[in-house]
Amino acid sequence: MLKNLTNTLLLFSFAVFCPLSAADPSIEASTPQVDTSESTADAEGIAFFESKIRPVLIARCYGCHSADADEIEGGLLLDTREGIRRGGDVGPAVVPRDLHGSLLLESIRYESLEMPPDEQLDKSVIDDFTKWISMGAPDPRDGKSMTAPKANIDLEKGRQHWAYVPVVTPDVPSPDDAGGTANWCRSDIDRFILSGLHQADLQPVGDAGPMQLLRRIYYDLNGLPPTPDQISTFQSAYRNNADAAIESVIDELLASREFGERWGRHWLDLARYAESNGGASNYLVPLAPRYRDYVISAFEHDKPYDKFVREQLAGDLLPAGSDIERNEQLIATAFLSLGLKDMTIRDQHRFRMSIAQEQIDVFGRAFLGQTFACAECHDHKFDPISTEDYYALAGIFYSSQPLVGIQDKHTGYVFELATLAGHEAMFKGDNYAEFRHLQTKKRNSYSRLRSKKHELLNKAGLSKASQKEQSQYLSSNPAIDHLAKQLEEATAKMDDFYQRFAEEIPRSLIAIRDIEMPTDVAVHLRGEASDLGEIAPRGFPKVLVNDATPEINRDQSGRLELANWIASQDNALTARVMVNRIWLHLFGAGLVDSPDNFGTTGQPPSNPALLDHLAGRFVAHKWSVKSMIREIMLSHVYSLDSNHNDHAYQRDPANRLHWRMNRRRLDSDSLLDSVQLVSGKLQRGPPPERLAIFAQEDQRLKSFNISGWRKPTQNRRTVYQPLFRSFVPADWSVFDFPDPELLRGQRDTSTVPTQALYFMNSPYIVEHSKNMAKLLMDEAKSSDASHLATQAYLRVLTRYPTQTEFEQCREFLTDFVADDQQSSREQAFAAFCQTLFASAEFRYVY
Amino acid sequence: MCIENIHDATLHLILHPKSNMTFPTSLYSRRDYLRSLAGGFGSLAFAALASRDAQASTALNTGIKSASVPKQPHFPASAKRIIMIFMQGGVSHLDTFDHKPQLQTDNGKSSGKNSNAKLFGSPWKFKKHGECGQWVSELLPHVARHVDDLCFLSGMHTDSQAHETAVPFFHTGNQSQLRPAMGAWALYGLGSECDNLPGYIATQDLRAFGQNHGSAFLPAAYQATILNPEASNPVANLKCPHLSTQQQRRQLNLLQQMNQQRLDRDDVNSEVEAVIASYEMAFRMQSTVPDLLNFSTESKETQAMYGLNSSNNKLRDFGRQCLMARRFAEEGVRFIEIGTGGWDHHFSIAESLPTSTSIIDQPIAALLTDLKQRGMLDDTLVVWAGEFGRTPAAQNGNGRDHNNRGFTIWLAGGGVKPGFNHGMTDEYGKEAVEGRVHVHDLHATMLHLLGLDHERLTYRNGGRDYRLTDVYGRVVKEILA
């Protein structure tokens, strides 16, 4: 029973515990001050302790709260006077004569924590404790309590974790590549895979057919199926030289704009990209799409990943060769600024800390697969990351200011925007002061006018009169006229400000910058801003640093060094995490099955040597994502069939060792984009930049009518369509599009009836099925079932129908019309096309 | 019940020398079973049922399974399902259930040194009702007749005093960061008992206040299905807009034929099986949902009781929500949230509050009566609440402002003490002073009644175990029957 509580207490210590704030500051956890004179003073009190209190502590509490306990719960030791008064993770257990400040009392009364957990103490015993604390908690138990049961982090041991060990290029195994699998290996990747399979007594299945492979390649690289023309080009090339045909289609797609859109979208999931702040103050962030376009372009043009990392973390601090480069580097830093900000926090320090926390969480998981956020309130329970490490990172982000352009009456901190190179800055702190001033003036004018009106109407006994009567009465009043004029002027000034705001927007960017006086922050004990420990000098988690780690320039935030530390081959995590993400998007599962968590609570790699081999290759290819993808796609393991094999399935049902290709469900983007492509409606490429600025005082999303905003981009790929937090289109979320508040390296792939309803009845599917039927029938100038079936199968499923399927189609078209003589052949064919969209085969990549 | 079973939502089997290699053997028997069926549309439903009944603990790695297979609670539950009646805006406890004679006595006096606002006694008469003697104002005569079935929490408090933060706090336990809604947690913990309806349904779109019905980091299958009983499509895409029933049936037959052919080719493919089952369920939903919303099958008395014939449109619509809630509860839907907005009475409360209470009074009473006479109140927990209460001091002279420091909600059925009151506010009803219950405590208690330990119902995300109650929450044992 007590063991079951472990989890609870771990969780308990994660966050701020409110009752603490009432605690006597003289008994702060960091500076225990125990009045020793008490120990000898009151013999009667001691006797009371010995007879009533100590036996209970021993019998009911020491099991988990003494130096001898197997595992000390909640960091609380009750076996010495010092320990009981210092308390545990959540504060002093006993504060003499303070019944409210004594957490122990609250706990045994079952008012907060319920202790002891198995059974509450008798009421008389609780009364004894109350009395004892009222007496001043006399306690003869001298002696040092074990200092904070804070487990010292063993860095040396920590560094042994597989993900922290430097990447050492492993020897390529030479599996017995004979027998049934002669010359199976096409590359080193295959040697690692085959060797892994052999160790588990497994053999790979056969190869995917050419059309199956073609469809797979198209979805993986472009997120779209091939068109009939593309299919036939491939087919003729394949007949000439199969390997060359595959290689050339891969190269062609890697070079396409659609590749940038597809792989950019993967990254945007990690960047929790959205165009509004989300949460309680869901402010519009109209410049966000510039970051989206930066990401798409980075993948399209194969920006080296180390550069990509560096730009997103410290683009503002990097030297630039040109204005264009400067702008690109600036917009990249929006990665750090796009997170959800809790605008309800009034306290500036806490507000800034909350932003830093979000940034630590996101950069840690996206680039390093590290869950640093766990160390905010206490040393990481599982990974060798201390709170000092956490606050050393926090100082870096605390010394940086996001420039987001959000006008909130409390948080000027995120009001500003970066300015394109070569332009005069407009969104400055001064403007915020001006904005606040104008806003206050306008509001005051308004309320003065309103109260004057009330006053006059009340005097005249017209407060309940009709509006017409009221305005008539007020119309010729000089005082009202005067106030109305004031309001008019204030409004005009505000409008003028917004006009300037709007004109400046095209020259502005979301970004981040160093604050003027970069600073370290202190450890926040238990994450509490009001309870500060030692200053944690800005730096990186100790377990992850080595001789090559750069020193932080104290005059800057440290983001530049952070960026360089991450974007380095000396960082054991960066390349591993990224190649695993690439693998994940090509196979449906990473070699490490927890792509955002490479810590000890994550999953170990299924093939560690392969992971390191890939990491090494990635760096050797100068961090080229495209080269990495290409190398993986040209392996034999990528071209395997996805079919079943009893023997292998029983040994490795989750296919961790890659005895076959995984079947993967199309994600929402691929699915919706494909339907539009096949129906002939998809407009390729990016939409014109949408920088309409919504110059109004209230920038919260709810004050805009956003329903029409999708229309201008509705025929573009979903990556280009507006995306607001809390308002993810239902069409997307039904297919597991992730909530953009949260970083998500791997999407869910649920199968639920609401998806089925979507395929059966949604306007989107119905409309595009009609479009497709019309397109095909117009093109073919024929309504011959075999011809139509062939075209439809080719476009939707990238294959030819079988004889049975021809017949099914023919029969369906006939019967459908027979069911209802009003139906046209085109309607019948549209219903058939819809069936193909709805089919499991379309919804999966095989 | 151990927590590991709950994590089967994403079942990852890793080949590891030290682990016992497991594989879902039931796949095979299930596949054979599928093959033995005559085939054709409709028959697969049995397969889904069969696997459900077999409590397929080797649940397939798909959402439909994880969401639809019922799971064992941590300990015996007293409630099988929850109907939550959410009053968005914040109901004035001072004018409904929290009787404050002192406030009426001191009406018009200053409310404090630093405030111009004056104390504002309730303009309505209060009377004691039932054997329990609970005070109820004259605004809620129908609900007043049920006080002996209700369990009042009169010492509620919550963190936030703005709608935008208090509404998500009430639904997710967090005011600003995205977290799963309590219905999603309930479904995650217990699964669904329905084969033809989603397990978590909500009628109000509260997205203006953030994500109140989402699954956040829980698998997407646990999010609420928004159901609008008044819309032509009560559930998104429920109605077939373009085909006759016969044609759609023909289309679905073709579709399932294609899927079956694919399954045959794949030999073993749990995903295709799940797709097939999802079409079965969707097809059934097309008729079950409209059937459940077709109230003409209810007796005239029942319809009248819920106010379905009322000339007050809003009362009628809310009555339909309440009746719908009962019918969905009967079908085994795990978590049903209904409600109305418009409780934000900053102005002229004397005129505006009666409008609001007149909408809900009769239908809620009807729901309680109906659940009770069908014996469903025993295992259905009804929760009536707003996101906070309102101030004893007047705002704008005749309204009340938000008050997060003290307010009243009530629960009924599902294992709470009937005719019971827990907690109280101070003499003016400003702040909870005794039997204080925080929204985290309410969440812990609701989960407890469902048989779930709020400290053990965890989900790991980003290296951390998350709970509905964060690191807080205390089961309010005082109210457990």
| Per-residue pLDDT tens over the stretch B263-293 | 999 888 888 988 998 998 899 899 999 999 9
Backbone phi and psi for residue B434, each to the nearest 5 degrees, phi listed first: -135, 150
Which H or E run includes B104?
helix B101-105
| Average of per-residue pLDDT across A313-326 | 96
Distance, in Å, from the CA atom of B221 to the CA atom of B446, rounded to the nearest integer, reads 21
| Average of per-residue pLDDT across A501-511 | 88
8 Å CB contact of A344 and B175:
yes
pLDDT at B39: 41
This prediction's pTM:
0.83
8 Å CB contact of A819 and B247:
yes
In 3-state terms chain B splits into helix, strand, coil percentages (rounded to 5) of 40, 15, 45
CA dihedral A528, A529, A531, A535 (to 10 degrees): 110
Rg of the Cα trace of chain A?
33
pLDDT score of A410 more than 80: no
pLDDT score of B196 more than 60: yes
Give B329-380 pLDDT, tens digit per residue.
999 999 999 999 999 999 889 999 999 999 999 999 999 999 999 999 999 9
8 Å CB contact of A727 and B271:
no
Distance, in Å, from the CA atom of A696 to the CA atom of A706, rounded to the nearest integer, reads 15
8 Å CB contact of B240 and A371:
no
ipTM: 0.81
**A654 vs B14, B214, B220: nearest CB:** B14
8 Å CB contact of A808 and B255:
no
| Average of per-residue pLDDT across A308-334 | 97
Q: Which two tokens stand for residue A415?
A: 């009001």
**Contact yes or no for B475/A20 (Cβ under 8 A):** no
Lowest mean pLDDT among A689-693, B228-232, B255-259, B269-273: A689-693
| Average of per-residue pLDDT across A309-320 | 97
pLDDT grade for A522, boundaries at 50, 70 and 90: very high
Which of B97, B175, B320, B227 is CA-nearest to residue A354? Answer: B175
**Cα nearest neighbour of B9 on chain A:** A750
Q: Which A residues, 571 through 590, put their C-beta within 8 Å of a C-beta on chain B?
A: none
Give A35-83 pLDDT, tens digit per residue.
444 445 568 888 888 888 988 888 888 888 887 777 777 778 888 888 8
Q: At what angle do helices A210-222 and A257-270 cross, to 10 degrees?
A: 60
Interface test with A, best of B239, B242, B351, B402 (most A CBs within 10 A): B242
Which of A418, A274, A398 is CA-nearest to residue A335? Answer: A274
| Percent of chain A's residues with pLDDT above 90 | 60
**What residues contact residue A552 under an 8 Å CB cut-off, 6+ apart?**
A396, A538, A539, A558, A561
**A844 vs B21, B271, B465: nearest CB:** B271
8 Å CB contact of A816 and B460:
no
Give B139-177 pLDDT, tens digit per residue.
999 999 999 999 999 999 999 998 989 999 999 999 888
Which H or E run includes A478?
helix A478-504
**Cα nearest neighbour of B463 on chain A:** A371
pLDDT at A180: 53
**CA–CA min distance B228, chain A (Å):** 15
Measured over the CA atoms of residue A653, residue A655, residue A661 and residue A666, the dihedral's sign is positive
Distance, in Å, from the CA atom of A729 to the CA atom of A712, rounded to the nearest integer, reads 15
Averaged pLDDT of chain A: 88
**CA–CA min distance A651, chain B (Å):** 7
Q: Is A533 helix (H, G, I), strand (E, B) or coil?
A: strand
**CA–CA min distance B114, chain A (Å):** 21
Helices (H), A301-421: 305-314, 323-332, 334-337, 348-368, 387-398
Whether A58 and chain B come into contact, CB under 8 Å, resolves to no
Q: For residue A88, what are the β-bridge partners? A: A91
- Residues of chain B with C-beta less than 8 angstroms from the C-beta of A4: 456
pLDDT score of A26 more than 50: no
Lowest mean pLDDT among A172-176, A551-555, A796-800: A172-176
| Average of per-residue pLDDT across A521-532 | 87
Whether A235 and chain B come into contact, CB under 8 Å, resolves to no
**A835 vs B22, B255, B470: nearest CB:** B255
Whether A248 and chain B come into contact, CB under 8 Å, resolves to no
Q: Prior bond to A116 cis, omega within 30?
A: yes
Distance, in Å, from the CA atom of A272 to the CA atom of A291, rounded to the nearest integer, reads 12
| Average of per-residue pLDDT across A637-663 | 94
Q: Which A residues, 257 through 296, put their C-beta within 8 Å of a C-beta on chain B?
A: 278-282
**Cα nearest neighbour of B164 on chain A:** A280
DSSP state letter for A159: T
| Average of per-residue pLDDT across A126-133 | 90
pLDDT at A177: 65
Distance, in Å, from the CA atom of A550 to the CA atom of A545, rounded to the nearest integer, reads 9
**Cα nearest neighbour of A202 on chain B:** B15
Distance, in Å, from the CA atom of A236 to the CA atom of A244, rounded to the nearest integer, reads 11
Give A263-288 pLDDT, tens digit per residue.
999 999 999 999 999 988 899 998 99
| Average of per-residue pLDDT across B240-248 | 93
8 Å CB contact of A841 and B262:
yes
pLDDT score of A556 more than 80: yes
Which of A772, A781, A789 is CA-nearest to residue A827? Answer: A772
**CA–CA min distance A358, chain B (Å):** 10
pLDDT grade for A151, boundaries at 50, 70 and 90: low
**Cα nearest neighbour of A805 on chain B:** B258
- Residues of chain B with C-beta less than 8 angstroms from the C-beta of A836: 258
pLDDT at A467: 84
- Residues of chain A with C-beta less than 8 angstroms from the C-beta of B248: 760
Which of A216, A839, A843 is CA-nearest to residue A587? Answer: A216
pLDDT grade for A17, boundaries at 50, 70 and 90: very low
Measured over the CA atoms of residue A113, residue A116, residue A120 and residue A121, the dihedral's sign is negative
pLDDT grade for B112, boundaries at 50, 70 and 90: confident
Distance, in Å, from the CA atom of A118 to the CA atom of A115, rounded to the nearest integer, reads 8
Backbone phi and psi for residue B172, each to the nearest 5 degrees, phi listed first: -125, -10
**Contact yes or no for A777/A685 (Cβ under 8 A):** no
pLDDT score of A421 more than 80: yes
**Cα nearest neighbour of B473 on chain A:** A112
- Residues of chain B with C-beta less than 8 angstroms from the C-beta of A114: 474
Q: Is A673 helix (H, G, I), strand (E, B) or coil?
A: helix
**Contact yes or no for A278/A740 (Cβ under 8 A):** yes
Backbone phi and psi for residue B227, each to the nearest 5 degrees, phi listed first: -125, 120
- Residues of chain B with C-beta less than 8 angstroms from the C-beta of A374: 463-464
| Percent of chain A's residues with pLDDT above 70 | 93
pLDDT at B67: 60
Which of A599, A581, A600, A601 is CA-nearest to residue A591? Answer: A581
Backbone phi and psi for residue A797, each to the nearest 5 degrees, phi listed first: -115, 0
Distance, in Å, from the CA atom of A511 to the CA atom of A515, rounded to the nearest integer, reads 13
pLDDT score of B2 more than 60: no
pLDDT at A693: 60
Q: Is A514 helix (H, G, I), strand (E, B) or coil?
A: strand
pLDDT at B47: 37
**Contact yes or no for A223/A260 (Cβ under 8 A):** no
pLDDT score of B251 more than 50: yes
Going from the C-alpha of B359 to that of each of A10, B99, B125, the distances in angstroms are 46, 21, 19
- Residues of chain A with C-beta less than 8 angstroms from the C-beta of B238: 757, 761
pLDDT at A36: 42
Strand pairing report for B150-157 and B437-438: parallel
**CA–CA min distance A48, chain B (Å):** 31
8 Å CB contact of A114 and B209:
no
Q: Is A695 helix (H, G, I), strand (E, B) or coil?
A: coil
**A757 vs B164, B282, B474: nearest CB:** B282
Whether A48 and chain B come into contact, CB under 8 Å, resolves to no
Q: Is B101 helix (H, G, I), strand (E, B) or coil?
A: helix
Q: Which A residues, 754 through 813, put their C-beta within 8 Å of a C-beta on chain B?
A: 754-758, 760-763, 766, 804-805, 808, 812
**Cα nearest neighbour of B462 on chain A:** A371
**A371 vs B164, B279, B464: nearest CB:** B464
pLDDT at B36: 35
pLDDT at B25: 34
Residue A447: CB atoms within 10 Å: 12
| Average of per-residue pLDDT across B95-101 | 97
8 Å CB contact of A756 and B278:
yes
Q: Which two tokens stand for residue A805?
A: 């399927």
pLDDT at A143: 76
Whether A600 and chain B come into contact, CB under 8 Å, resolves to no
pLDDT score of A515 more than 80: yes
- Residues of chain B with C-beta less than 8 angstroms from the C-beta of A834: 251
**CA–CA min distance B365, chain A (Å):** 33
Residue type, B122: S
Which of A645, A802, A670, A655 is CA-nearest to residue A735? Answer: A670
pLDDT score of B478 more than 50: yes
**Contact yes or no for A339/A355 (Cβ under 8 A):** yes
Ramachandran region, residue A143 (left: φ > 0; alpha: ψ -120 to 50; beta: rest): left
Angle at A580 between CA A577 and CA A585, to 5 degrees: 130
pLDDT grade for A401, boundaries at 50, 70 and 90: very high
Interface test with A, best of B464, B477, B478, B480 (most A CBs within 10 A): B464
Whether A114 and chain B come into contact, CB under 8 Å, resolves to yes
8 Å CB contact of B178 and A739:
yes
8 Å CB contact of A11 and B286:
no
- The residue assigned the tokens 């005011």 is B175
**CA–CA min distance A301, chain B (Å):** 31
**A819 vs B244, B470, B471: nearest CB:** B244
Interface test with B, best of A645, A752, A817 (most B CBs within 10 A): A752
Q: Which two tokens stand for residue B183?
A: 């219905």
**CA–CA min distance A46, chain B (Å):** 34
| Percent of chain B's residues with pLDDT above 90 | 69
Whether A823 and chain B come into contact, CB under 8 Å, resolves to yes
Task: Give me the numbers of helices (H) and strands (E) for chain B, helices first please.
Answer: 14, 17
Give A136-148 pLDDT, tens digit per residue.
898 888 877 654 4
